[in-house]
């Protein structure tokens, strides 16, 4: 029900939820959609009455495309908002010479294009429609978190609207997806690792009146006189970013008159484009040292911030959501011990650190404003590019310590490729649905897994799929050979893939039961310890 622009709860009984989320940006929406689709009762509190109508993030990668695919929101389902990018991301010096080429062409390991540019308000609206269709999610707009009260079994969030009305929402967990100035983070009192990176950039989003030709479409100009970024902003849109130089005041630099002056060298004028948005940002690099305290957890910008040069800010926040959601689901349904939530922060903090450091590394290249330093940079980097030195599209780090084995591939991102099932051919998740998977190299390996272990594994939401020659409900034909090649690469006959697409661990023939038992034990560490036989004899 909607009154005064607010979605209202229907009765006092509906004040009780499984999860309460503070913040309804991309991370809050995806978390609400994931949990709501699993049947959990979710409340989302957002202090703004309406969604922010202007673009902020503009890029995501193939891993996030797979996450959106799992929510029936793949890039192909949002052509009005998302466009695939199939070119290099090139960095040039003031003379126009290439300094660095990031290979953003072709497909990534998750089965989608390496890169996509998108219009954030349109994507958020698409996701909101899906959230609204769920009877299990309640979105409260215009309500701001004021305080919280935590007990052993639940946490209560006290909220207030602009009219001074107050209400209380109770859940088992409170997720702070409430941005860089997170109130939930303040309540947790966590310290932050801050790498001391501060640069002011003016972000300008344009609606061109005619197509703008930039080659390649994603370009960094490493000119010490004015470092500049040019990237697509989603279908029919362009983004420019300009570094604020020493001596330029924030007010004058971000004025509309100055924006047109900055755009003039690029042939952009009021006659060729409209300014959709202009905003001055201070790019930062930091992450939380603790992501959980009791029943409070953090995700997205509330947990980490990074410069945008690798295009991984929002993607990192959505990785948080994917990591947290499946663990919360298991805990809420009693299929896993609450202690597995401690693995969320340790896994994600180490993982996001690599993306922050890559973003800073790229920022150090472009933000040089001293001509002598820039000349040294240009000499080294033009030499590197002549020698064939290149950089991958984005890092592929291992998760930090947590809920995975420490074998060859535990904690790394799995692949997704085309398969043929019983009645369908396509990407793996489209054929078999999203979720965890124990993937076996051949059908005969199923015989290694006793019925009780098979049933226990399936009860956690992990299905068993074998590669074979005849497609079936639990047998996939590896149409391109990608999965066989991957198993060769990771030296495995079986790989257990978590619902967030990361590898729990691998096994060779004869060791599949051990892999499954270890996974089940990690989900229920107390029960697993109780089930172990007592040790006898002396120890040393």
Whether 540 has a pLDDT exceeding 50, the answer reads no
- 235 vs 79, 229, 370, 413, CA distance in Å? 8, 18, 36, 29
Written as six digits, the tokens of 191 are 């310290």
CA distance 430 to 77: 13
**Whether residue 4 has pLDDT greater than 60:** no
* Segment 368-386, tens digit of pLDDT: 999 999 999 999 999 998 8
| pTM of the full structure | 0.93
Least confident segment among 97-101, 318-322, 499-503: 97-101
> What are the structural domains, with CATH classification, of the chain?
2-81+118-192+289-344 (3.50.50.60), 418-531 (3.40.30)
Unique residue bearing structure tokens 């953003």: 104
Per-residue pLDDT band for 527 (boundaries 50, 70, 90) equals: low
Report the candidate in 60, 362, 46, 86 with the shortest Cα–Cα distance to residue 197. 362
CA-CA distance, 376 to 271, in Å (whole number)? Answer: 39
Least confident stretch, 13-17, 107-111, 113-117, 215-219: 13-17
Average pLDDT, the chain: 92
Residues 523-532 have a mean pLDDT of 65
DSSP-derived letter for residue 18 is S
Residues 6+ apart with CB under 8 A from 397: 350, 351, 354, 355
In terms of pLDDT, which residue wins out, 526 or 371?
371
Beta strand ranges found along 166-264 (DSSP E): 166-171, 173-176, 192-194, 199-208, 218-222, 228-232, 238-243
Question: Which of 240-244, 426-430, 447-451, 528-532 has the lowest average pLDDT?
Answer: 528-532
- Only one residue has tokens 């960094």, namely 220
- Calculate what percentage of the chain has a pLDDT beyond 70: 95
Reported as a pLDDT band with limits 50, 70 and 90, residue 539 is very low
Bridge partners for 207 per DSSP: 274
Rounded Cα distance, 315 and 65, in Å: 10
Mean pLDDT across 426-430:
98
Question: pLDDT grade, residue 530 (50/70/90)?
Answer: low
Whether the pLDDT of residue 438 is over 50: the answer is yes
Distance CA 482, CA 420 (A): 13
Q: Provide the pLDDT for residue 492.
A: 97
User: Is the pLDDT at 538 greater than 60, yes or no?
Assistant: no
Q: Which residue has the higher pLDDT, 530 or 242?
A: 242
* Per-residue pLDDT reduced to its tens digit, 75-97: 999 999 999 999 999 999 999 99
Calculate mean pLDDT across residues 98-103. 89
Task: Let me know how long the chain is.
Answer: 540
pLDDT band at 395 (very low <50, low <70, confident <90, very high): confident
């Amino acid at each position: 029900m909607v009154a005064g622009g607010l979605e209202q709860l229907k009765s006092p009984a509906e004040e009780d939820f499984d999860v309460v989320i503070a913040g309804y940006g991309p991370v809050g929406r995806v978390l609400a959609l994931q949990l709501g689709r699993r049947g959990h009762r979710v409340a989302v509190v957002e202090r703004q009455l309406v969604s922010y109508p202007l673009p902020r993030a503009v890029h995501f990668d193939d891993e996030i495309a797979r996450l959106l695919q799992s929510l029936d929101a793949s890039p192909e389902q949002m052509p009005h908002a998302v466009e695939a990018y199939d070119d290099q991301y090139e960095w040039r010096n003031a003379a126009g010479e290439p300094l660095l080429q990031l290979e953003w062409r072709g497909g990534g390991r998750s089965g989608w294009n390496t890169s996509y540019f998108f219009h954030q308000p349109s994507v958020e609206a698409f996701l909101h429609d899906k959230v609204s269709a769920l009877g299990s999610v309640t979105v409260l707009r215009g309500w701001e978190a004021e305080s919280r009260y935590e007990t052993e079994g639940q946490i209560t969030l006290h909220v207030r609207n602009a009219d001074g009305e107050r209400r209380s929402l109770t859940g088992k967990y409170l997720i702070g997806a409430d941005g860089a100035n997170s109130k939930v983070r303040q309540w947790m009192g966590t310290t932050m690792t801050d790498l001391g990176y501060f640069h002011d950039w003016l972000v300008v989003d344009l609606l061109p009146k005619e197509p703008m030709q930039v080659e390649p479409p994603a370009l960094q100009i490493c000119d010490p006189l004015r470092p500049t970024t040019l990237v697509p902003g989603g279908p029919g849109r362009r983004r420019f970013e300009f570094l604020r130089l020493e001596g330029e005041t924030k007010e004058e630099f971000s004025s509309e008159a100055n924006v047109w002056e900055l755009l003039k060298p690029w042939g952009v004028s009021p006659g060729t484009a409209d300014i959709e948005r202009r905003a001055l940002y201070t790019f930062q690099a930091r992450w939380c040292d603790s992501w959980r305290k009791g029943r409070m957890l953090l995700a997205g910008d509330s947990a980490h911030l990074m410069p945008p040069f690798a295009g991984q800010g929002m993607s990192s926040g959505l990785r948080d959501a994917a990591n947290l959601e499946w663990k919360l689901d298991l805990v809420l349904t009693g299929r896993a011990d609450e202690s597995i939530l401690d693995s969320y922060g340790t896994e994600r903090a180490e993982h996001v650190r690599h993306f922050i450091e890559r973003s800073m590394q790229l920022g150090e290249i472009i933000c040089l404003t001293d001509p002598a330093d820039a000349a040294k940079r240009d000499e080294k980097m033009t030499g590197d590019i002549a020698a064939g030195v290149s950089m991958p599209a984005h890092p592929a780090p291992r998760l930090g310590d947590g809920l995975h084995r420490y074998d060859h591939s535990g904690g790394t991102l799995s692949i997704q490729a085309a398969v043929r099932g019983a009645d369908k051919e396509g990407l793996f998740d489209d054929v078999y649905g999203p979720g965890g998977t124990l993937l076996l190299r051949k059908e005969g390996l199923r015989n290694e897994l006793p019925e009780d272990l098979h049933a226990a594994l399936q009860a956690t939401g992990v299905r068993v799929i074998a590669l074979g020659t005849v497609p079936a409900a639990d047998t996939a034909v590896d149409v391109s050979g990608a999965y066989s090649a991957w198993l060769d690469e990771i030296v495995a006959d079986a790989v257990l893939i978590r619902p967030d697409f990361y590898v729990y661990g691998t096994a060779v023939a004869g060791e599949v039961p051990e892999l499954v038992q270890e996974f089940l034990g990690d989900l229920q560490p107390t029960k697993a310890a109780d089930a172990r036989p007592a040790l006898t004899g002396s120890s040393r």
